[in-house]
Amino acid sequence: MTLITHPALSELAERRYVLLLGGSGRLGLECKTCLRELAIPFWAPVRLEIDMGNLNGIAKLLATTPPAVIINAAAFTDVDAAETQRSEARQINADVPSILAEIASKLGIRLIQISTDFVFSGQAGRAYHEEDEPEPINWYGATKRAGERAALMAAPSTIVLRTAWLHGNGRPSFVHAFAHKLANGERIRAIADRFGSPTSAHSLANQIALICKSMFDGDDVPGGIYHAVGKGSASPFEIAHAIAGELDADVSLIAASSASEQPDIAPRPVYAVLDCQKIEEILGLSCEHWQDGLSHTIQQAGIRGRRVA
């Protein structure tokens, strides 16, 4: 591990701060914005400063300048590549949370571990609750589930937030790909027989920042697994229609396709919708409807194009 003593750390050493891992990712970028908005001090080291591929230095860093809270938004997120780069995916998604939780437990640090809807098979035919038994169908999902388990075993106070289908304006997503094409009057094909919980990365980051604030304020924040997603469910086809609505674009540009027409290297769950009632009831954090989150992302992206005559 390359460990650089960042100048920001010497300032933060005297204060309670959040260590944000994965701060350059889609979610991490939004976390930075939301932590700033709540005036929560944080350090978000880049890969050069903390490489999750080497576990040895993490303990040293945490022991010398322990944060009050760790947000682990770093992950091996390429679901198809995980099938072939198995040990790397396991290390980042399972071994890192395990070691973070061990250290967190010893030093009294709270850990917020981000997980995924891909821990489920998608065969239930209904929205999943936190107590449903995970049954991952690809290696990415298996490693993320192993990370959840290891973190909760080593530090039961860990907050595991399962999320899904993230979109935001830091790192472009499938939402941007659809939006740009529709805005340019190009035809798109979108899967109509796979369903999930589209989630605004900004909304999730806001929930994470509020959890950090509660922890800093000394509130009771019970550990465990929570689903943190946009409410409702949608297929990519329905998302494309919602985007067209936001852009006032021509919906006849959108053709429905089947997941079986575009086979992925890693199998994907067909119906991985998550129920988010628990986070609302226990942590008091409201989950917005997926269409509101999508609308926010599209408006923020400032994508404009040809409008329907």
- Residues lying near ligand NAP in the complex (CB under 6 A) are found at 22, 24-28, 47, 51-53, 73-77, 92, 114, 116-117, 144, 163-166, 171
**Minimum CB–partner distance for residue 217 and ligand NAP (Å):** 25
Taking the least distance from each CB to ligand NAP, the nearer of 236 and 249 is 236
Cβ atoms of 158 and 152 within 8 Å: the answer is: yes
Strand partners, 256: 190
Give the nearer residue to ligand NAP in terms of CB position, either 97 or 249.
97
First to last CA, the chain: 57
Q: Write down the catalytic residue from 17, 128, 140, 271.
A: 140
Nearer to ligand NAP (CB atom), residue 229 or residue 249: 229
Instruction: Give whichever of 90 and 144 is closer to ligand NAP, judged by the CB atom.
Output: 144
Q: What's the closest the beta carbon of residue 151 comes to ligand NAP, in angstroms? A: 12
Residue 140 annotated as catalytic: yes
Closest distance of CB 231 from ligand NAP, Å: 16
**Identity of the residue, 116 or 203, whose beta carbon is nearer to ligand NAP in the bound complex:** 116
C-alpha 252/C-alpha 226 separation (Å) is 38
Chain position whose Cβ is nearest to ligand NAP: 25
Amino acid at the residue 108: G
| Minimum distance of ligand NAP from residue 110's CB (angstroms) | 17
State how far the Cα of 75 lies from the Cα of 58, in Å rounded to an integer.
15
Taking alpha carbons only, the member of 96, 71, 45, 104 closest to residue 213 is: 71
**CB 82, min distance to ligand NAP, A:** 10
Give the shortest CB-45-to-ligand NAP separation in angstroms: 8
80 vs 241: CA distance, rounded Å = 26
3-state secondary structure 155-168: CCCCEEEEECCEEC
42 vs 165 by CB, closer to ligand NAP: 165
Of residues 63, 170, 76, the one with CA closest to residue 116: 76
Which positions are annotated as active-site residues?
140
